Amino acid sequence: MKMWNKCWAVVMLVTFVIAGNTQANDCVPRELDFGIVCVCNATYCDDTPDNDPKIPESGTVYWYISSRSGLRLNLSQARFNSCEASSDTPVLTVDPSRRYQTIFGFGGAFTDSTGINIRNLSRAAQDQIIRTYYGRNGSRYSLGRIPIGGTDFSTRPYTYDDSTGDVSLRHFSLAPEDYNYKIPYIRRAIELNPDVRFVSSAWSAPAWMKTNQRINGLLGFLERRYYGTYVDYLIRFLQEYRNNGINVWGISTGNEPFNAFVPFDRLNVMAWTPRTVTEWVANYAGPMLENSEFNATKILLLDDQRFELPWVAAIVFRNPKAKHYISGTAVHWYFDQFFPSSILDDTHNLSPDKFILMTEACTGANILDNPKVALGSWERGQEYVLSIIEYMNHWGIGWIDWNLVLNRQGGPNWINNYVDAPIIVNPETDEFFKQPMYYALKHFSRFVERGSVRININNNLSNVKSTAFVTPSNEVVVVLYNRSNREEDVVLEDPNNGPVCLKLLPYSINTIIYAQ
């Protein structure tokens, strides 16, 4: 029986050496309430340099590691065929010939609260935040979500036309929040990544268009007489954002419409049922967008929890007109732990030509989560990485975080619905804290570029979760998460390259990259 101890030693010794060669800015760690954060300010932030070799030389593996113990995308190196496995060491086999969905990207939401918190920092620190998400040395986010009007993560309830009965939309106008908190930072993201794509969602139509005459509240449906007016309202939004240099790739049928059936829920919301949204898409939104200058804009169905997928998608897609106009389904992650990922498979199999995009996730949202912001929590980062792996392995084309930035309270939020975020600002010292959630997402967004294709990797291990991709530049990218409190030895086997041995640190995210 041959062991890999020599190989493990070599792999671990080169950690930090390679990172030093690429002149990475290392994490400045700070132990806070629940674990380690990386501290950034106006002049310094950890990064992953753009001059990292894009494709490792033949036989070489690059290996980025983040761990509960404090590593943050630290770079190591290993080689194929440099060691042999013991008979009881698990083998993870990558099969690039078995290909699945094409990946569209990763990103976060430009809410009012995000902009308010960024604006509370110095201009130099503001630029650092946008770079750390959208810059080449940062997460390389390729997606962004833009609320249409206000959300609960605003300081007030509002839409773009709150003038009662204004069916001609004469009083339509973007809000001060758009000009102060959204547009400037969105445009900066576009400067950093011109290929970024935006999906937009309205939380509610103007109250006067709804049956309950409120921006929130129980059973507030869009009145049928305003079905066309509401499409005109959305098209005006698309025009105004384009006039400000922002093109919107996709627009959903509305954020979390089923919250309107929950008594005492205070979230901004507008109700849809599968049958009413089918009629609206088939006879109004679809044809009106198609006949407008925005006929390339994608329509995304649902924008709500995945447990609603079976009956929503089945009913809507039975209508040929509605199905024609819908490009894909937007899904949120809340309550995922109670409903199997097979629901995603069933939705894909129902209409394989329609994509599935995860458009909202955050921790700290559960009623028992206290505090709402758990600074440095590795457990919350673990929730992110396990969710991303699950969505990738079940036909998701991307994964979009909720607020890009919040404060230490988890707001502001006009109904006090505070949650956590990957980056938390500390304006008193002109700093911001990058939490484990940030690095969980970066392990994917930094390396799995748009146009990558998910490939097969066999994995029946309980403690090590995995997913794998081939990128447009013909790299194989494998992401492994060891959710055990002990080291796990595994072999990664590629049919074209052979085996490479990996010792996965306890509670560690591992991104492995090599030439196909």
* CB-CB neighbours of 342 under 10 Å: 10
Asked about 383 being catalytic, the answer comes back as no
* Tokens of residue 445, six digits: 């967004």
Closest CA to 34 of 360, 364, 362: 364
Sequence-ordered strand ranges (E) for 271-385: 298-305, 326-332, 355-360
Task: List all residues 6 or more positions away from 308 whose beta carbon is below 8 Å from its beta carbon.
Answer: 258, 302
pLDDT of residue 18: 40
Residue corresponding to tokens 């794509």: 197
Q: Pairing state of beta strands 298-305 and 396-403?
A: unpaired
pLDDT of residue 23: 64
Query: Which DSSP letter does residue 56 get?
Result: P
Task: List all residues 6 or more positions away from 490 whose beta carbon is below 8 Å from its beta carbon.
Answer: 89, 90, 91, 92, 461, 464, 480, 501, 502, 504
- Report whether 364 contacts 374 (CB < 8 A): yes
d(CA 251, CA 326): 10
Task: List all residues 6 or more positions away from 315 whose beta carbon is below 8 Å from its beta carbon.
Answer: 274, 275, 278
Give me the CATH topology for the region 5-37+49-91+456-515.
Answer: Immunoglobulin-like (2.60.40)
Q: If residue 442 lies in a helix (H) or strand (E), which one and from where to where?
A: helix 436-445
Helices (H) and strands (E) counted in the chain, each on its own, are 14, 22
d(CA 58, CA 456): 21
pLDDT of residue 206: 98
Asked about 360 being catalytic, the answer comes back as yes
- Report whether 261 contacts 308 (CB < 8 A): no
pLDDT of residue 54: 64
Helix (H, G, I), strand (E, B), or coil: what is residue 242? helix
d(CA 64, CA 34): 23
Query: Which DSSP letter does residue 222 get?
Result: B
* CB-CB neighbours of 315 under 10 Å: 15
Closest CA to 46 of 67, 71, 11, 63: 71
Encode 174-193: b = buried (16+ Cβ within 10 Å), e = exposed: bbebbeebbbbbbebbbebb
Out of 256, 279, 383, 475, which one is annotated catalytic? 256
* One-letter identity of residue 156: R
* One-letter identity of residue 203: W
Q: If residue 311 lies in a helix (H) or strand (E), which one and from where to where?
A: helix 309-317
pLDDT of residue 3: 37
Task: List all residues 6 or more positions away from 344 whose beta carbon is below 8 Å from its beta carbon.
Answer: 306, 309, 331, 356, 391, 394, 395, 396
**What's domain 104-447's architecture?**
Alpha-Beta Barrel (3.20)
Within the chain, all domains assigned CATH 3.20.20.80 are found at: 104-447
Task: List all residues 6 or more positions away from 337 whose beta carbon is below 8 Å from its beta carbon.
Answer: none
Q: Pairing state of beta strands 396-403 and 105-109?
A: parallel
d(CA 45, CA 450): 25
* Tokens of residue 489, six digits: 């030895």
pLDDT of residue 4: 39
Q: Kindly report the CA angle at 288 between 200 and 396, in degrees rounded to 5?
A: 40
d(CA 489, CA 500): 11
Residue corresponding to tokens 């086999």: 93
Out of 360, 383, 431, 449, which one is annotated catalytic? 360
d(CA 340, CA 215): 33
Question: pLDDT in tens for each of the 516 residues of the chain?
Answer: 333 333 333 344 334 334 334 467 999 999 999 999 999 999 999 999 876 556 788 899 999 999 999 999 999 999 999 877 688 899 999 999 999 999 999 999 999 999 999 999 999 999 999 999 999 999 999 999 999 999 999 999 999 999 999 999 999 999 999 999 999 999 999 999 999 999 999 999 999 999 999 999 999 999 999 999 999 999 999 999 999 999 999 999 999 999 999 999 999 999 999 999 999 999 999 999 999 999 999 999 999 999 999 989 889 999 999 999 999 999 999 999 999 999 999 999 999 999 999 999 999 999 999 999 999 999 999 999 999 999 999 999 999 999 999 999 999 999 999 999 999 999 999 999 999 999 999 999 999 999 999 999 998 899 999 999 999 999 999 999 999 999 999 999 999 999 999 999 999 999 999 998
